[in-house]
Structure 1
Amino acid sequence: MLNCRICLWRCIRALDTSASQPHRLRHDVASTLFRDQRRSLRTTTNAIRKVDARPTNLAKVEELSRSEDEPWKKSPQALSQKKKERAALRQKPAHDRAHNEVTGDLMWLGKRDPRVSAKDWNRRKRELQYLKDPLELATFVRKELGKDKSTEMLQLVRMASHSMQCIVSWNHIIDHLLAKERVSDALKVYNEMKKRAQFPDSYTYTILLRGLSINAHKSGALSKALAVYHSMSAPNSRVEPTIIHTNAVLRVCARALDMDALWGVAAKIPDSGPAAANPTTFTTILNAIRQSLLVDAPKGENEEEVAARRERGIVEGRRVWEDVIGKWRNADMVVEEELVCAMGRLLLIGSRPRDWDDVLSLVEQTMDIPRLVPRLGTAERQNAGLPRLRAENTPEEYRFDDAHLSPNKGSMRGQEFLALTPQGIGSAVSNPLTYATPSNNTLSMIQEACQKIVANKAAEEYWNLLTDPTTYGVVPDINNLHMRLRVLRQNRASANAAELLKRDFVGKGIEPKPGTFRIAMSTCVRDKNNHNSLKHASRILHLMMMTLPDADPKTATMYAELTLTFPLAKGEDLVDALTFLQPVIKNIRLQLSVGGERKYGKVGAVYLTGAERQDAIAALRKICGIYDKLINSNLIAEEQKAPFKAEKARLSAFINRMMFKDGNRKWELAKEALGAEADAAPEEGEGKKEGGEESNRKGGGWRARNALPVEKRRPWFSSRSASEAV
């Protein structure tokens, strides 16, 4: 009955006097019961421990598992895992690597390239310790590339690419290689740059395309430029092509004379936006058209085919100019002088007189300089009494382009070059156009156009207008002065040509060239019917001897020809001409005989060879003709001819010697052989008689003697024949 705990608890509760505190009784009973249970459990656990204390093999395993001699720790698998664990701990997390790219921490340089020696690797590593900023790295790379250290800088940039974005440094290397004409190496660096996650920017493509343009003469430059340019338009390209890249690839096409590729690129240029055409685009296209017409000409063309091909090119240029004017009128583009001159130079190579005349209309349209000569085909030009255009080299179907000259009275061209008027009603509308400013290029172009349309008076007026300091103030350069001399030659203005040389060349310190005096002297030859043309030519010859270090043989030839063909020549004129020619003769003789190279700024005659030598000999022959004319005529008295005869004989002998020296190259080889034989000959009488007699008999003894050095020459009387002659 009392075996149940509940029953026992109820009996005790009924007998307990403290039944009024049930919670206390419950606590005491529970404590007694739980104490007994814990005692019984403790006794059982101790008994189990005493049983497990018996010696078994499990104790050794546990001991090995806690010791350093554990078999797993010595196994290859454990060692491999430990190695991988350490490598994983040493590796930087991804966020730390991205942080290093921003902060420039170059401690992570990647593995050493096998192509780089350990010595160079350590050098680059030490350099990168002080180049933790991309700007500092780019500055250092550019400075070292100036010392031609492209290999070292390429190693440095490769190492830096592991930890930072150094696109500018890559750009410097590509630019340096292209400047050194190493196109293949530059393209290899460009491809390697992309493989190293250094994505090219807009400047990279600009440098690459412009570098290919300056190396357009290299094989495959055009195809590589087109490949790079078209890759920018790919869907996955990070950089979109701008007009700068388009202009660069157009320049490559123009220099390669590939008009099909040029028009293919130009056709994709949008009408608006950042990739729209600018003045440089149109200038490149117009210059390419002109270059293709002049250089890329098929062989075996006749005059009609040349004129027709140029006509097609001029029509293309006129269509391009219509687009230029449309953009200029809409204020989408500013017309510059380079663009105007590109169109003008294209018109000047045309076959029609209308093309030449449109140059002046072009200048009026774009520079607001009014025409100083009426247009071809207008009544004003016919009433002005201007000379008729000759145009001998123009085919018949292109020659008569004027309305008052052509038989069929065809329609006039040049409407695209008419002056633009403000769009609006009334005179209150302002002109929004910005005109180009003329300079030396415009001045030469206008002078050439006036020469072609035979407008000499207008050429002078344009010259005075553009060079006037109060208007445009253009300071003429040597090309402008040469063009002005050509216009004066067309007008037979020998006096103005001589004055121009004295005032604009000598007076302003501009150093003339030999061609300058040739143009001026040809003006005097063309003006030979003028009484004073020979005097003007003498002034030009005198200026040539004052300014040029050596006399120009072609100028001297033209002066001598003018002296011979001068219809009003007197004896005094021929004597004065020979007097002016004396310093010229001396200088030409020095150039033909003992001339050398001019060194250290010293003045001395330069030895002439080739075609220049033949021109000098021709000049001396022409001067001999003046002596002949003076001696064989009755222009001077007989007693006065003696000095001229002697001078002519000396000059003729010199010409004969020069001709013999130039024509008989075998004699030169024989002279060298004789010199070598004389060096090998014995000093005393053995073998001297035969050689001496034979050489003197043939007239070559003095030549062989002069061919020897001075210290080895023998007296001329050493041979028996010479002593007998004495």
Structure 2
Amino acid sequence: MLNCRACLWRCIQAISAHSYVINSQHLHRSAASSTCFAQQRLYLRTSARTVRKVTARPAFLAEVEKASQYRGDPWKQSTQAAGLKKRDRKGLTRQRDALKVAKAVAIPAQRRLGRRDPRIPLKDWHNRKNELQYLADPLELATFVKKELVKGKTTEMLQLVRMASNSMQCVVSWNHIIDHYLAKGQIAQAIKVYNDMKKRAQFPDAYTYTILLRGLSLNAHMTGALGRALSIYHSLFAPNSRMQPSIIHTNAMLKVCARVEDMDALWGVAAKIPETGPASANAVTFVTILNAIRQSLLVRIPVGQSEEDIAKRIEKGIVEGRRIWEDVIGKWRNADLVMEEELVCAMGRLLLIGSRPRDWDDVLSMVEQTMDIPRLVPRLGTTARKDAGYPRLRSPNVSEQFRFDDDHLSPSQGPARGDEFLPITTHGIGNAVSSALAYATPSNNTLSLVQEACQKVVANKAAGEYWSLLTDPTTYGIVPDVNNFHQRLRVFRQNRASADALELLRDGFIGNNLQPRPATFRIAMSTCVRDKNNHNSLKHAGQILDIMTTSLEDADPKTVNMYADLAISFPLAKGQDYIDALARLDLIVRNIRLQLGVGCKRRDGGAGATLLQGVERQDAINALRRIHGLFDKLLFTGFIPEERKRPYKEGKARLGAFLHRINFKDGERQKERQKRNVSGSGEGEDGQGRLEDAEQRKESGILSGLFKGRGGWRQRTAPPVGNRKPWSSTDTGGESLG
């Protein structure tokens, strides 16, 4: 084997290269632990050159590879390689075809848009076609349509959706267009679009019917809204209907019937509601029905009915409401319904319009049943109520046949009326007791409801206890609003508590930075009028009037009228009381004259007294007449000596002259309107406006001396009554009442 010198030499070279590699690895590990860095670098450099030199590829290997290239690759010439190459090319072609299809789907202009609708101009058709190139997805189309509808492009979006309906399902876009028409009150156009949608194989979904029924309920005041709503709702029950009606559709349909005041249609829709299942009634359903019953009893009163017939009719509605409430409680106990405050208050408001005292008292039982708020007054007709010292309920406005519920010796042996509002007890034996009920949470609506119920059953003490319980931060923490305070003031008025009304006005409104309304001062002032036998009632009324002057921009004529009437009819009044009352009314009369006059109307919309018209104008005139009568009461009863009557006589004369002038001008305006209507002069509202402007300028010149230098009645704070000279002609800022 080693006879040849060349072979021997090749073997020695291979062995030498192997030994050099092993030695270099060993020396490299030892050099890493050496402390001489220079020797390490020298050795590594030398060994690297040696390895590269030794491991170079031999020349005979290159000659063998070069020789193999001339023999070729047999596999590449085989049938298997050709088939693989063919399949590879076919796969690439398939990918290119798929890409072309994707591009065709992404560009709606390449899809079939159908023939051009002749109602669409050619230019608009091309514009819509170009827009569809970038609206490949139905969601993108719906978003674009909704955005453009806000800009008022209704016609363009309707064209776009019609063209897109030939190649995609765009029901959401159709829904946006229908909702847009209904929001604008165009019912006929919305129904037309709905029918057009179905003709183009765009099948309406649940949202389509919800939008239609909700929109028709918002436009229930228009002609034909109920008929269209019933047609759409009953189409859901058709055998070929793709959609099944849900409780949302039913609630919307019930709202349409309630707003149109068609109880027959409402009961017809309610009869189709299943007892169980997802389409069964929920809290919104019962709220709508109860409110509709209450509205029908208050609004749709037949003409010519007697008081007894009206009471019987209300009694029938209350009985229907009680039957509905039994269904509500049954569903609530079975956890098929969530008890909400709105549902409780809807039933409570229905009971409060009842003809029987039992109906009013059951409101407190219902609150205890559904909200777990204990009754603070015994039930009506029980011995506990009599033992607690409550007087028998006096109901002079209740018909005789409806009063026996307050009788403790009722002859009826059946279940007493109101048992459907008794507290619910859990069922079970031992520890196997059903789960606790989810009670409703009270808020401001409940607070007003309880106060009104206590007012009806004349339970003043219980009303205060309920108020403290519900507004206590440690219990329910209800923050009273304006309506709650108004109802509380009504309770005070019933009990002639003028001092409590004044305190509530100060602490409840002014102390909590609430803005009182004119109705607030009317209720508070009527409390003082009802409490006129109290020697402090006139004083309380004056303080309420002072709060009004600092709270309202303009004086309320009805409140002023009640104050003047109280001052005139006050049985314990003295001369000083009349003087103080006229002093308080000084600035108020100025403001009322501004409201009745014409120089106060600002064309630039700036601050100023509001010009009164119609009934409000007549109320202001009546208030000035009562103040004029207060002058007579002071001058002709001998409360003040003759030498002190002069300024009051002058004030009375000026006020009388102003009333005469106002009455004359109002009469002239009325005659002018009648003459214009009869003659048909054609001037219309513009001529009338010019006439009134001329009268305003004329009277503004008359009253300019009176109001010169005053920026408004609120800018002048009235000094204390005792330090003021009432009706003095030397008062700053102009003459008083002149």
Structure of greater relative contact order (alpha carbons < 8 Å, 6+ residues apart):
2
Query: 1:298 offset after TM fit, Å?
Result: 1.0
How many Å separate the matches in 2 of 1:427 and 1:638? 89
Query: 1:642 offset after TM fit, Å?
Result: 1.5
How many Å separate the matches in 2 of 1:100 and 1:446? 68
How many Å separate the matches in 2 of 1:671 and 1:265? 53
Equivalent residue number for residue 163 of structure 2: 159
**Equivalent AA in structure 2 for residue 572 of structure 1:** Q
How many Å separate the matches in 1 of 2:391 and 2:619? 37
1:144-183 alignment, distance < 5 Å: 144-183=148-187
How many Å separate the matches in 1 of 2:434 and 2:241? 45
Verify the 8 A CA contact 2:108 2:134 in the aligned structure 1: no
1:246-395 alignment, distance < 5 Å: 246-395=250-399
1:123-162 alignment, distance < 5 Å: 123-162=127-166
How many Å separate the matches in 2 of 1:598 and 1:669? 24
Aligned length: 585
How many Å separate the matches in 2 of 1:424 and 1:598? 74
Query: 1:664 offset after TM fit, Å?
Result: 3.5
Per-residue Cα deviation, 1:444-495 (whole angstroms, up to 9, x for no partner): 1111111110011111111111111111111111111111111110011111
Equivalent residue number for residue 651 of structure 1: 655
TM-score by length of 1: 0.77
Per-residue Cα deviation, 1:131-185 (whole angstroms, up to 9, x for no partner): 1111111011111111122111101100111111111000100111111111111
How many Å separate the matches in 2 of 1:536 and 1:422? 52
- Match 2:209 to one of 189, 205, 211: 205
Per-residue Cα deviation, 1:168-221 (whole angstroms, up to 9, x for no partner): 000100111111111111111111111111111111111111111111112221
Instruction: Indicate how the Cα distance of structure 1 residues 669 and 478 shifts in structure 2: closer, same or farther if over 3 A, else same.
Output: closer
Structure 1 alignment gaps of length 5 or more: 1-94, 673-702, 711-726
Equivalent residue number for residue 561 of structure 2: 557
- Match 2:232 to one of 225, 228, 231: 228
Query: 1:603 offset after TM fit, Å?
Result: 2.9
- 1:105 matched to 2:108? The reply is yes
Equivalent residue number for residue 57 of structure 1: none
- Match 2:534 to one of 530, 533, 542: 530
Verify the 8 A CA contact 1:373 1:381 in the aligned structure 2: yes
Query: 1:408 offset after TM fit, Å?
Result: 7.4
Verify the 8 A CA contact 2:283 2:338 in the aligned structure 1: yes
Verify the 8 A CA contact 2:109 2:130 in the aligned structure 1: no
Equivalent residue number for residue 639 of structure 1: 643
How many Å separate the matches in 1 of 2:101 and 2:529? 81
- Secondary structure of 2:429's counterpart equals coil
Verify the 8 A CA contact 1:549 1:603 in the aligned structure 2: no
- 1:478 matched to 2:482? The reply is yes
Instruction: Indicate how the Cα distance of structure 1 residues 626 and 106 shifts in structure 2: closer, same or farther if over 3 A, else same.
Output: same
Instruction: Indicate how the Cα distance of structure 1 residues 378 and 430 shifts in structure 2: closer, same or farther if over 3 A, else same.
Output: same
Q: Which moved more, 1:421-430 or 1:373-382?
A: 421-430
For the pair shown, the structure with the greater C-alpha radius of gyration is: 1
Instruction: Indicate how the Cα distance of structure 1 residues 119 and 626 shifts in structure 2: closer, same or farther if over 3 A, else same.
Output: same
Equivalent residue number for residue 722 of structure 1: none
Instruction: Indicate how the Cα distance of structure 1 residues 244 and 670 shifts in structure 2: closer, same or farther if over 3 A, else same.
Output: closer
Verify the 8 A CA contact 2:146 2:173 in the aligned structure 1: yes
Structure 2 alignment gaps of length 5 or more: 1-97, 677-693, 702-738
How many Å separate the matches in 1 of 2:442 and 2:197? 45
Verify the 8 A CA contact 2:598 2:700 in the aligned structure 1: no
Query: 1:532 offset after TM fit, Å?
Result: 0.8
Verify the 8 A CA contact 1:422 1:429 in the aligned structure 2: yes
- 1:442 matched to 2:466? The reply is no
Query: 1:359 offset after TM fit, Å?
Result: 0.4
How many Å separate the matches in 1 of 2:129 and 2:670? 68
Equivalent residue number for residue 520 of structure 2: 516
Instruction: Indicate how the Cα distance of structure 1 residues 652 and 360 shifts in structure 2: closer, same or farther if over 3 A, else same.
Output: same
Per-residue Cα deviation, 1:558-583 (whole angstroms, up to 9, x for no partner): 10111111111111111111111101
Equivalent residue number for residue 472 of structure 2: 468
Instruction: Indicate how the Cα distance of structure 1 residues 443 and 126 shifts in structure 2: closer, same or farther if over 3 A, else same.
Output: same
Query: 1:538 offset after TM fit, Å?
Result: 0.5
Query: 1:586 offset after TM fit, Å?
Result: 0.6
Per-residue Cα deviation, 1:46-74 (whole angstroms, up to 9, x for no partner): xxxxxxxxxxxxxxxxxxxxxxxxxxxxx
TM-score by length of 2: 0.76
Instruction: Indicate how the Cα distance of structure 1 residues 644 and 186 shifts in structure 2: closer, same or farther if over 3 A, else same.
Output: same
Query: 1:399 offset after TM fit, Å?
Result: 2.1
Verify the 8 A CA contact 1:360 1:371 in the aligned structure 2: yes
Query: 1:428 offset after TM fit, Å?
Result: 6.8
Verify the 8 A CA contact 2:370 2:440 in the aligned structure 1: yes
How many Å separate the matches in 2 of 1:101 and 1:362? 66
Equivalent residue number for residue 413 of structure 1: 417
Query: 1:407 offset after TM fit, Å?
Result: 7.8
Query: 1:432 offset after TM fit, Å?
Result: 2.4
How many Å separate the matches in 1 of 2:291 and 2:585? 45
**Equivalent AA in structure 2 for residue 354 of structure 1:** R
- Match 2:244 to one of 234, 237, 240: 240
How many Å separate the matches in 1 of 2:425 and 2:100? 65
- Secondary structure of 2:108's counterpart equals coil
How many Å separate the matches in 1 of 2:284 and 2:306? 34
Verify the 8 A CA contact 2:107 2:133 in the aligned structure 1: no
